[in-house]
Structure 1
């Protein structure tokens, strides 16, 4: 608590500051009637010009870069369009935290002027592309509250490694996006900024912890944003919002210099940064750009891996996993994975159905590694901020999590290595190029109800890259079936019962997850491009 200010006072001041940074002419009329799905509001609210609607709505990140280079667009008009659309998204879904629209527009204007002055200079790979950032990335002059009062009004003095690299590559940074209190739940709700909503259905969660980013990209207030992932925090918002995202292998995308709820030096599962976008090729382009840019110059923990540009000419062999053996997918999720598998078979892809080994044990080790200190560090941050826990954090029950000894950690780490070896052999013996499975047993859920993370966290445990591909939405025909369909015990049944009707989950996106081997991120990108073309363009 700063002086005599309560967390409510701090929140009010931060939110009022954010509101003042949105131009009056970008404010949505209170007379505009909104339904449960607000994805089309940017087109009809009268704030964007037709050209701005086309810039933001009809182009992915790669298109925008190419059109700036061909002088079909200027960097300034692109940035202005995305600032306006992000402002609209904020008013509808509460997805933003820190706003730097005016600085972004000025940077884009300067980029245009530099091109006029130096027309023969080499193009930077991200020249003029607006990129949004999860709140945990540090940008000088902006807070990185990560949803906690303790960090409010303590602006960063230096860039995190990745934003610094993005700027050097020509990008324009224009806003940061909301997260859960502690960044340890899948509901982006906190006492500083409030709750981010899902634009597909305002009564459903936007996911977390990169939930603001997911909502913003779904609204096309951004076509390329950056999230972070330790158990699914890039992929869960992609599931909830129906966008593309990639959880890279560790050590590829710079991560250093972020605000964190973890005690410094905590070992265990590696946190990674990765792209959230409106297309699979945008995710691929981001990874190619970062791997070509010698990211290790910005973050000493980065590997010296290079993007080779080599493409396999044969059709991939893909393992299909219908469920993880712990949680039964909701009826629409079951439909989505079976339909995707059938499309791949019909396209002549070699498909083999698989059951994943040792999932429960891997998850137990994962959770043990998340809380080696018994979550004491993050509890202290909450207490020092004099704020209550939001509902999703209460349900985690941080105080009940036991700390581990050094001997405990060594046992966990030893067994992790053994299971990584088992999965390595599993992959080789099945001659796999990729695995396709549901990214979660559920779609976006109602607020504070997201439970299992086993479908995503397993790949963090193994450090395998994983990419989300949207495939459709819940249909009226996706009726709730009997409780007998829940196959794996009480926890599974409790989660399965959340799906009570397609009406509750109206317009909730459906997705699949494609997984590759550790540090085979480029090969996975090639498989995903192939699969995406079959699932969404055939």
Structure 2
């Protein structure tokens, strides 16, 4: 009992620390608003090929209206232009991609594939795809953006890359992440920071921030990311694109770093599609799940009139938590109101939504038994570094690790500030809420919820927004599919949008609603455009 009281006090202190941090954050944020410099502009989109979806481009290629070479080369040239500003690309295979595109064109000219075969078996034929660096692409950088793995190359393709290649897609480059995918800021000591294409003073998010930035800038049409605490959906919000976290364990994580055989870790982590257009999510998911044991019925039409729609504007006021800003709440309201035309009466989520969601999420991650090695030592990869010592070294420039990765490592290893009884208590609480939500949503229910409490944040303040990760991370814990849907720009020109959640294996509902909301609210909005043809 005494230990329980002590740990409760520690958890309370943690909340109090974030409350104090929030006050400091509010003061510093206002100062930055007064002194901030003008953002650097990214080069505008000047070629109409960059405005089509992957689905539309693939159809044009099949019908010989355009060449694979033109599609791949146009995207590569725009990647080169915008990357000078964004710093999103950390390795590339531009020459190889051009060669592969020309081979595709030659195969088409020789009649190797007919239109129906391509449509059915190779729906992404000739389409360039960009890849988060944590995902193995043979011959390319596979460091996890860690100094300890500097120079390492992948010896083979991850399974998801094999599936994409089999579908005809052509990998063109690999994109930046936080060190070992730890953090909501794609910044590391190897490659630096990736900027937001809508305003370079803001973060592009993490951990799939390089992917998000290239897609938001119109330089990529489809990309592969990975999500463990919102790492696909947060960059999707910050960069104005679509990002889908699939149902847990339906897509293989083989080829992902950091890696662990721990079953809980495998459940929390998943690769997921990131796109500029909603229709590409469905095609992408069919490819990624083509070897799955679960039939997601992605080809079965969704009758929107039969949907049950639930919503929440955010978490109730809780110590240490920052409130959801009005423009994000407005996105939730617009989404809910939109479904009135289908004679649907959306309902506020009739489940008690506890303020302890933060503790539920954190305690779940503390339950990982086989912790991946986040602090890799260059001289001895098997060496276990002490994260507490590394944190003390960082302010003096004596550590080879970033602060955000070191903090993650410390919490996973020490479970601070949780006791075993705390972890057990919050795990049971999480399972109870999951079951209630599962029963409520069933096979035709969706839940509209913020992806994050605000649009993109200034890069230096990501630590202050740590607790806001819970809006996404709770659905990694529950294993539910969730998609971020862009809904235009706010008064500052930053992307805004909502998260759409469904019960496990009902990914098709998320994707159908994403297409509906894209039609209603416009979807992706280019940062800048000046078409020449």
Query: TM-score when scaled to structure 2?
Result: 0.78
Q: Aligned-pair RMSD on alpha carbons?
A: 2.9
**1:509 is matched with which residue: 488, 495, 520?**
495
Deviation at 1:84, TM superposition (A): 1.0
After superposition, residues 318-357 of structure 1 pair within 5 angstroms as 318-325=309-316, 326=318, 327=321, 328-345=323-340, 348-354=343-349, 357=352
Distance, in Å, in 2 between the alignment partners of 1:350 and 1:527 is 16
Note if contact 1:60-1:279 (Cα within 8 Å) is conserved in structure 2: yes
Closer, same or farther: CA 405–143 of 1 in aligned 2, 3 Å: farther
1:531 — aligned with what?
Answer: 517
After superposition, residues 160-175 of structure 1 pair within 5 angstroms as 160-175=158-173
Say yes or no: does 1:65 pair with 2:58.
yes
**1:54 is matched with which residue: 40, 48, 73?**
48
Note if contact 1:317-1:432 (Cα within 8 Å) is conserved in structure 2: yes
Deviations 1:301-340 (A, max 9, x none): x545553434326353311211122542123223332333
Distance, in Å, in 2 between the alignment partners of 1:116 and 1:244 is 34
2:135 — aligned with what?
Answer: 137
Give ranges in structure 2 of 5+ residues lacking alignment.
1-36, 382-397, 524-533
Deviations 1:384-435 (A, max 9, x none): 688433354466583686248999877765554333212223435xx96211
Deviation at 1:96, TM superposition (A): 0.9
Note if contact 2:233-2:243 (Cα within 8 Å) is conserved in structure 1: yes
Distance, in Å, in 2 between the alignment partners of 1:382 and 1:445 is 31
Deviation at 1:179, TM superposition (A): 0.3
1:480 — aligned with what?
Answer: none
Say yes or no: does 1:265 pair with 2:262.
yes
Deviation at 1:351, TM superposition (A): 1.4
**2:183 is matched with which residue: 174, 185, 201?**
185
Distance, in Å, in 2 between the alignment partners of 1:465 and 1:338 is 21
**2:107 is matched with which residue: 108, 114, 135?**
114
Note if contact 2:366-2:412 (Cα within 8 Å) is conserved in structure 1: no
**2:44 is matched with which residue: 42, 45, 62?**
42
Distance, in Å, in 2 between the alignment partners of 1:347 and 1:307 is 22
Say yes or no: does 1:440 pair with 2:452.
yes
Deviation at 1:142, TM superposition (A): 1.3
Note if contact 2:374-2:405 (Cα within 8 Å) is conserved in structure 1: no
Segment of structure 1 superposing worse, 83-92 or 395-404: 395-404
Deviations 1:159-179 (A, max 9, x none): 110001111111100101100
* Length, aligned pairs only: 454
Closer, same or farther: CA 164–352 of 1 in aligned 2, 3 Å: same
Segment of structure 1 superposing worse, 240-249 or 360-369: 360-369
**1:94 is matched with which residue: 84, 87, 90?**
87
Segment of structure 1 superposing worse, 406-415 or 165-174: 406-415
Note if contact 1:251-1:303 (Cα within 8 Å) is conserved in structure 2: no
After superposition, residues 468-479 of structure 1 pair within 5 angstroms as 468-475=484-491
Distance, in Å, in 2 between the alignment partners of 1:376 and 1:457 is 18
Note if contact 2:296-2:506 (Cα within 8 Å) is conserved in structure 1: no
Partner SS state of residue 44, structure 2 = helix
**2:436 is matched with which residue: 422, 425, 442?**
422
Say yes or no: does 1:285 pair with 2:297.
no
Deviation at 1:514, TM superposition (A): 0.9
Closer, same or farther: CA 190–153 of 1 in aligned 2, 3 Å: same
Closer, same or farther: CA 448–140 of 1 in aligned 2, 3 Å: same
Distance, in Å, in 1 between the alignment partners of 2:313 and 2:421 is 37
Note if contact 1:347-1:534 (Cα within 8 Å) is conserved in structure 2: no
Closer, same or farther: CA 423–155 of 1 in aligned 2, 3 Å: same
Note if contact 2:365-2:412 (Cα within 8 Å) is conserved in structure 1: no
Deviation at 1:526, TM superposition (A): 2.0
1:158 — aligned with what?
Answer: 156
Deviation at 1:63, TM superposition (A): 1.0
Note if contact 1:363-1:454 (Cα within 8 Å) is conserved in structure 2: yes
Distance, in Å, in 2 between the alignment partners of 1:236 and 1:426 is 26
Higher relative contact order (CA 8 A, sep 6+): 2
Deviation at 1:115, TM superposition (A): 1.5
Deviations 1:12-71 (A, max 9, x none): xxxxxxxxxxxxxxxxxxxxxx962635x134xxxxxx5xx1111x20111111111111
Closer, same or farther: CA 455–418 of 1 in aligned 2, 3 Å: same
Note if contact 2:296-2:507 (Cα within 8 Å) is conserved in structure 1: no
Note if contact 1:203-1:446 (Cα within 8 Å) is conserved in structure 2: yes
Note if contact 2:204-2:212 (Cα within 8 Å) is conserved in structure 1: yes
Distance, in Å, in 2 between the alignment partners of 1:376 and 1:307 is 34
1:245 — aligned with what?
Answer: 243
**1:460 is matched with which residue: 476, 480, 484?**
476
Closer, same or farther: CA 347–419 of 1 in aligned 2, 3 Å: closer
After superposition, residues 308-387 of structure 1 pair within 5 angstroms as 308-312=299-303, 314-325=305-316, 326=318, 327=321, 328-345=323-340, 348-354=343-349, 357-372=352-367, 377-381=372-376, 387=399
Deviation at 1:471, TM superposition (A): 1.0
Query: TM-score when scaled to structure 1?
Result: 0.77
Partner SS state of residue 244, structure 2 = strand
Closer, same or farther: CA 331–409 of 1 in aligned 2, 3 Å: closer
Distance, in Å, in 2 between the alignment partners of 1:163 and 1:220 is 22
Partner SS state of residue 314, structure 1 = helix
**1:398 is matched with which residue: 400, 404, 410?**
410
